[in-house]
Structure 1
Amino acid sequence: MQPATPDPVVFIGVRHHSPACARLVSEAIRALRPAYVLVEGPADMNTRLDELLLGHRLPVAVFSHYRDESRVATSWAPLCDYSPEWIALREGHAAGAEVRFIDLPSWHPAFTERTERYTDRYADAEARYAEATARLCAHFAVDSVDALWDSLFEVTDAADLQPRLDAYFELVRGDAEADPGDQAREEYMASWVRAALAHAGGRPVLVITGGFHQPALRTLAHRNGPADWPEVPAPPEGALGGSFLVPYSFRQLDAFAGYRSGMPSPGYYQRLWETGPETAARDLLRSVAERLRAHGIPVSTADLIAARGLTQGLALLRGHPYETRVDVLDGLAGALIGDDLEAPLPWTTGGPLGAGSHPVVVEMVAACTGDAEGRLHPGTPAPPLVHDVAEQLARLGLADADASLTLDLTDAAGRARSRALHRLRVLGIPGFTRAAGPAHGADPVFTERWEPGPATGREAALIEAGAYGARLDEAASVVLGERVRAAGTDVGPLAGLLFDTVLCGVGPLCAELLGTLVTQVSQVPELGPLGEVLAAALGLWRHDRVFGVARDRLLGEVVASAVDRVFWLAEGLHGGAGVDFARLRALTAAREALLHAPDLVPVTREAAAAAAARIGRDPRAPADLRGAAFGLRWALGAPDDPAPAVRALAADTLGDWLAGLFALAREEVTRGTAAEGEGLVDVLDGVVSALTENDFLTGLPALRQAFAFFPPRERERIAQRLLDRRGAHGSARSLLRTTADPLLLARARALEDNVARLLERHGLGASR
């Protein structure tokens, strides 16, 4: 590297988390002694750069968040020991330079072009120059950009590293235009460079950015423009945004776990940074062997010797002065796996590990990842939510809980502890897991059990959750409200969100959620999801005596709107075979509303019975829905004679029709078995007895499914009725205890009959 340059500004384009680039930055600072070191990073952190130098254990990340009425955005800018940005901050400060972050804040509209809501700030636009890197990979005969980078930059002793980096980034960016977001970012960063040049007094200015931006900044920084320090944009009025430091980990940083920018295998590159390429290669080989042996996968000394030989041979064949990461991994794979692979090796394709990866590959990747976890200095500022949660957990006796907790929800103290834990749950804060408790508003369970769990990542999760509010109840309210809006017209998730809101006790939001539900249930296109919401709302309206929402007016409006929609959808439903249990549950919930909250719903019993009659007569309606309509009329006190309906059914639809009937009127059917005269069971017995063997086998699975609606005691009562019809004596219970699957027995009987008929046909004298 040339220590002196005629240009007062030196641009170093880097690959994020590259040890080679980090060394280059360190050498440049020592050689140049610059007045300013400008670093790609969120400029809103400039007044708080001292926080980064408090003595944290890396990796850590700058977590940025933004929230307004229409958009929520979060991003991370990770820093580890060998991140060029971290070296620029630490050594620039130590050298007496003024260090500044020069990129736009992460909430800025320039970042809204990214498709993910949760994004990495350093995820530069590699996709836009994939074609150039693909050509380079083909030219150098390597499988991936990571392998290309290692061979060109990480394991070389070249003294011309910076010119080579410049040429590389010029080539991969080429003439491609950046998208509007990156153009805005580059214009903003260039304005910082111009200001630094104006204030440097002739001393050098060092600019450290991702290599993608460097070619553009070289041009933009020398254009005429204002030389004043740029203003840091503030969030729009009414919006909330900010940045905090959070602990990070190598697992989060690893490309094999889904991180989109920088280097994969952070554990390996930490060794490379600390010890150099030769030692890092030997350490990686040893680490993989130790992990495999610890997990019971045999690795012999001969295997390791073979792997070492393959690694060295591959490095020589590929022209590497030292073994690269991929050389080591390929050597290990060749020695330990051989041909036993069903998918490409992950370091040849990039991205996270796929399901079913070879166990040796999994341990190799884990060894490359490392297990380092960052820790913030105790003096690091944290968002208000962190302090609010600490105060609440201490007050409720939950701060040091390390044993199972059983909470009485009928007790005010137990309810307060439950609400705090549920609020942490919806925010995704680790530490406690709900093991038992009420599953819905009608569940007659009044205790909860919570189990303590690993608190790994708790500090980072709390800091990140601080983006939603300063208090625990406020943050939980915002998260639930956001999920409600995200659900849109899909009411399926809203049933769970409704109960979560009740469990969290976030009262003001409950009205917003219920108001949304009232509107949305009138637009639901399917009975199944609608039934879930109706059942949840009706259960809370009828039975809640713990959470304080029984007989709530808005809950009542949800119930009313849902019942009306159920009948509208049911009357228009045509086609389909089999039993749809979700829509049967929807009709069951509507029945419960008509029976137990008649003043709440806009549909009278008479109108509901009339609608059920129309559905039951509609030949285009599914069989289970027609049976449910018949059962609904029975439950509402307007029963019809079952004989004509049952006798008109084909063998292949009889069971489906009965499933719908039993779902809506099981108790009425059971009572009918004890009544005088011919009832449904008698009619059904006659119909089934008249079926041919083939028809019986066809209809048997659906019939068994239908009668599964009855508990054992009621099935025994039906069996007794059948015995009485035949004048037989014996135990009805014994009829329910078969030694084999009844369907299998029926098929065996049919097979025996077929064999007997075949023998008779050929005159072999077998009698049936």
Structure 2
Amino acid sequence: MTVHVFGIRHHGPGSARSMLASLRKLQPDAVLIEGPPDADHLIGMAADAGLKPPVAILIFDVEHPRKAVYYPFAAFSPEWQALRYAAEAGVPARFIDLPMALRLGQEDEKDDGETEKAESEGGAIPAAARDGLPGDPVRWLAEAAGDPDPERWWERMVEQRGSSEGVFEGIAEAMGALREAWKPPGDWEARREAHMRQAIRVAVREGRQNVAVVCGAWHAPALQKMPSASTDAAILRGLKAVKVEATWIPWTHGRLALESGYGAGVESPGWYNHLWTHAEDPLPVWMTRVVRLMRDQDLDASPAQAIEAMRLAETLSAMRGRASPTLEDVTEAVQASICFGSDIPVQLIRERLIIGDELGELPPGAPAVPLQRDLEHQQRSLRLKAEPLERVVDLDLRNPGRLAVSHLLHRLLLLNIPWGVLQRGSGAKGTFHEIWKLQWRPEFALAVIEAGVWGNTVVEAATARLAEAAEAVIERLRERAALTTDLAQMMGALAPLASTLRYGSVRKTDADLLTSVIAGLVNRVADGLVAGTRDVDDDTARDIAGLILDVNRALAVIGNEGWLEQWRAALESLGVRANRHGLVVGRACRLLLDASRLAVAECSRRLGLALSRGADPTQAGAWVEGFLEGSGLVLLTNDELWQVLDGWLASIRAEDFMVLLPLLRRTFATFPAGERRQIGERAARGAVRTAADDGEDIDLERAAMVEPVLRALLGDIDG
């Protein structure tokens, strides 16, 4: 019985190539891989051609899906190649790290759902182990070799080796020396390594004679020197487990990048993937990809420049004593030969090629929650591909297909899956356009799982989520309403809230909660209406007048008599203020007149005061506009108001009339065509004489003769 331990660098193509060569030579009868045993049932899918990396294993707590962890795999990851080798060779493979069910089950465990990283944390050294001594331990090895850059040293000594002979023995020896100088591993590192050793013992007890173990380089010495089984059992004793589930999800090279925050990330996943895919002669293909990218972005690039860049990269590599050009050599050559020394195209190359934007794929039979399957079905039917690159789409909502896309994106937003972000102020004409910025991120897979509790389809889940979301919005609205002092803001909120309350039973909105919010707004608007209209300019007065009308209509829709009474009392206080803008005072008086809270005679008196000779003509015109805007029917039914307005128009001075004419035309233009015609006909007939005007035609002597009879019939009207 022999156990071979391969200490690799996670996502290192050189490590993967050396390990794969060693496995083919060794031909083990079992492959044990550092990874979550909770996902052992997913290993068989690695042989499916439809599972295309980059992909990740997502493991989450069933009761608390937000507590989750990702284990990413790229084509150049040693763990992925180990899985593929086992599938092709027909030998069993299993994961041997400490199960996530135990890690997530500890009350004092850090919430891994917030970290988006696998448990294999550092490149060659776990981040948790780096706290034992000052500095990076790999830096010690690099400095001992005379290289100030530990990453470049590791890449040159391990990743770029042409031969795998002796590489893993050397890694294990170096890591063993570092571990001897290190403090003992922390509790979780010790538990992880104890579980790995226990898994090795299980394989041996099963009769495996040639076992291959693939693990992070830091763990290799701990798996070669096996303590007693009882010691490891004691380390693992007392751990509590929770129920977890695991699934494959698509991943991206961008999420493998070190700058994304992933603990085991690499600086250049796109470059590593290129080296793995084009191992024989990577440079010509890389330069071709660079030129194509430049041309796609309408930047100058030619085959001659690509050839020059390739030659320059090889020259730089030779000058620096390297066997083959590194990414540093290649990037410098591209910047000099193709980018004319500019940093901007180099940044584009870094984002699109060096890091990369490739998104993995899952086979149709991959395990998924029903909501995920429904989402994928809708993506296919709507031809809406999930892509990691940000793109902008313009949806014409008159098209049924584009309208369905809009519905899907809005529903996903309701489920906290912001695949698309609606852009405001796009400049599109009409209301039938929506501009969306789309970008799919791998972590949305977890959000889909979390949203699965609301329903098995996107429509069901969004509908069920709506009620709770509405409660949260209303509660937030209550907080904002309590804090704001902006009268216009409060008045503007009342109309849509009133509509929601009116139809709340249909939309399953919490009417009681919404009622309390509206009641608070009505109180504050009524109390602040008079003060909020002091010293306003023409534009602000116009806005407030419109809001006064909106609030009046909204409260009429609700039909709450208490709120209407509060509101009309506020209008009455505003209607008697001579020092307020004529537009808002006129609007208040008109609404009170329509509600029968203001007598026609009193309204005529106020109109007469507003239009008196001593009044400012522009303010008088504003009063008329506020009073009459939208409907002139009141002039046709009330002779007194007609007389006051007619007299004012007849008395306006010529210079004032020219100033007021646009205002009056604007006001009368808001009347329905039939009302304008009737008003014109009445004006053409001349002045209307009321009973008060005809006093001289009454025969007082004859009237005195019938007065006693009228008193007898009507009673003593004086007393």
1:685-743 superposed Cα distances (whole Å, 9 cap, x missing partner): 999xxxxxxxxxxxxxxxxxxxxxx9xx99xx9xx99x95884343657799xxxxxxx
Change (3 A) 1:31 1:177: same
Is 1:730–2:673 an aligned residue pair? no
1:318-358 superposed Cα distances (whole Å, 9 cap, x missing partner): 332111122101221233446544xxxxxxxxxxxxxxxx1
Cα pair 1:518 1:557 within 8 Å, conserved: no
Residue 697 (structure 2) aligns with:
none
Change (3 A) 1:138 1:115: farther
Q: Which moved more, 1:560-569 or 1:45-54?
A: 560-569
Cα pair 2:60 2:245 within 8 Å, conserved: yes
Cα distance, 1:49 vs. partner?
2.2
1:112-131 superposed Cα distances (whole Å, 9 cap, x missing partner): 62576361326614655493
d(CA) in 1 for partners of 2:315, 2:550: 73
Cα pair 1:594 1:604 within 8 Å, conserved: no
Residue 72 (structure 1) aligns with:
66
The number of aligned residues is 596
Is 1:166–2:98 an aligned residue pair? no
Identity %: 21
Cα pair 1:255 1:263 within 8 Å, conserved: yes
Is 1:211–2:217 an aligned residue pair? yes
Residue 392 (structure 2) aligns with:
none
Residue 617 (structure 1) aligns with:
none
Aligned amino acid, residue 368 of structure 1: I
1:204-240 superposed Cα distances (whole Å, 9 cap, x missing partner): 4322223344455556765634679x9999974xxx7
Residue 47 (structure 1) aligns with:
41
Is 1:677–2:609 an aligned residue pair? yes
Q: Give the one of 361, 367, 372 matched to 2:353.
A: 367
Cα distance, 1:676 vs. partner?
3.3
Cα distance, 1:281 vs. partner?
2.7
Cα pair 2:53 2:73 within 8 Å, conserved: yes
d(CA) in 2 for partners of 1:580, 1:178: 69
Aligned amino acid, residue 609 of structure 2: G
Cα pair 1:19 1:83 within 8 Å, conserved: yes
d(CA) in 1 for partners of 2:294, 2:83: 38
In structure 1, stretches of 5+ residues that fail to align are 1-6, 342-357, 409-413, 437-444, 479-503, 611-632, 647-657, 688-709, 737-768
d(CA) in 2 for partners of 1:567, 1:43: 65
Question: Structure 1 length as normaliser, TM-score?
Answer: 0.59
1:518-576 superposed Cα distances (whole Å, 9 cap, x missing partner): 6665655742899598765433123679x6458944433443466678899999x9xxx
Residue 484 (structure 2) aligns with:
527
Residue 199 (structure 2) aligns with:
192
Residue 486 (structure 1) aligns with:
none
Aligned amino acid, residue 285 of structure 1: M
Aligned amino acid, residue 272 of structure 1: L
Is 1:152–2:157 an aligned residue pair? yes
1:121-150 superposed Cα distances (whole Å, 9 cap, x missing partner): 266146554931566677778796654433
Cα pair 2:417 2:447 within 8 Å, conserved: no
Q: Give the one of 498, 501, 526 matched to 1:541.
A: 501
d(CA) in 1 for partners of 2:145, 2:20: 29
Is 1:505–2:453 an aligned residue pair? no
In structure 2, stretches of 5+ residues that fail to align are 386-394, 425-429, 592-602, 620-625, 631-644, 665-719
Question: Structure 2 length as normaliser, TM-score?
Answer: 0.63
Q: Give the one of 150, 166, 182 matched to 1:175.
A: 182
d(CA) in 1 for partners of 2:75, 2:376: 30
Is 1:332–2:305 an aligned residue pair? no
Cα distance, 1:505 vs. partner?
3.0
d(CA) in 1 for partners of 2:586, 2:217: 71
Change (3 A) 1:100 1:282: same
Cα distance, 1:288 vs. partner?
1.1
d(CA) in 2 for partners of 1:201, 1:32: 17
Q: Give the one of 110, 121, 124 matched to 2:121.
A: 124
1:167-198 superposed Cα distances (whole Å, 9 cap, x missing partner): 5656887636766655554444343234334x
Cα distance, 1:32 vs. partner?
3.6
Aligned amino acid, residue 656 of structure 2: A
Residue 89 (structure 1) aligns with:
83
Cα pair 1:527 1:566 within 8 Å, conserved: no
d(CA) in 1 for partners of 2:500, 2:399: 20
d(CA) in 2 for partners of 1:211, 1:274: 24
Cα pair 1:124 1:210 within 8 Å, conserved: no
Residue 384 (structure 1) aligns with:
370
Change (3 A) 1:598 1:539: closer
d(CA) in 2 for partners of 1:136, 1:533: 66
Which one scores higher on RCO, CA 8 angstroms, separation ≥ 6?
2
Change (3 A) 1:313 1:526: farther
Aligned amino acid, residue 192 of structure 1: A
Cα pair 2:414 2:466 within 8 Å, conserved: no
d(CA) in 2 for partners of 1:517, 1:505: 15
Aligned amino acid, residue 423 of structure 1: R
Residue 104 (structure 2) aligns with:
108
Higher fraction of helix: 2
Aligned-residue RMSD, C-alpha: 6.1
Cα pair 2:471 2:510 within 8 Å, conserved: no
Q: Give the one of 320, 323, 327 matched to 2:322.
A: 320
Cα distance, 1:432 vs. partner?
9.3
Residue 707 (structure 1) aligns with:
none
d(CA) in 1 for partners of 2:311, 2:613: 79
Change (3 A) 1:307 1:55: closer
Change (3 A) 1:97 1:114: same
Cα distance, 1:683 vs. partner?
7.9
Cα pair 1:435 1:449 within 8 Å, conserved: no
Q: Give the one of 425, 439, 448 matched to 1:465.
A: 448
Cα pair 1:191 1:221 within 8 Å, conserved: no
Cα pair 2:309 2:333 within 8 Å, conserved: yes
Cα pair 1:522 1:565 within 8 Å, conserved: no
Residue 287 (structure 1) aligns with:
289
Cα distance, 1:376 vs. partner?
2.8
Aligned amino acid, residue 676 of structure 1: G
Change (3 A) 1:288 1:604: same
Cα distance, 1:242 vs. partner?
1.7
Q: Give the one of 251, 264, 273 matched to 1:270.
A: 273
Is 1:58–2:64 an aligned residue pair? no
Aligned amino acid, residue 94 of structure 2: R
Cα pair 2:34 2:95 within 8 Å, conserved: yes
Q: Give the one of 406, 410, 423 matched to 2:411.
A: 423
Cα distance, 1:85 vs. partner?
0.7
d(CA) in 2 for partners of 1:183, 1:591: 68
**What secondary structure sits across from 1:374 in the alignment?**
coil
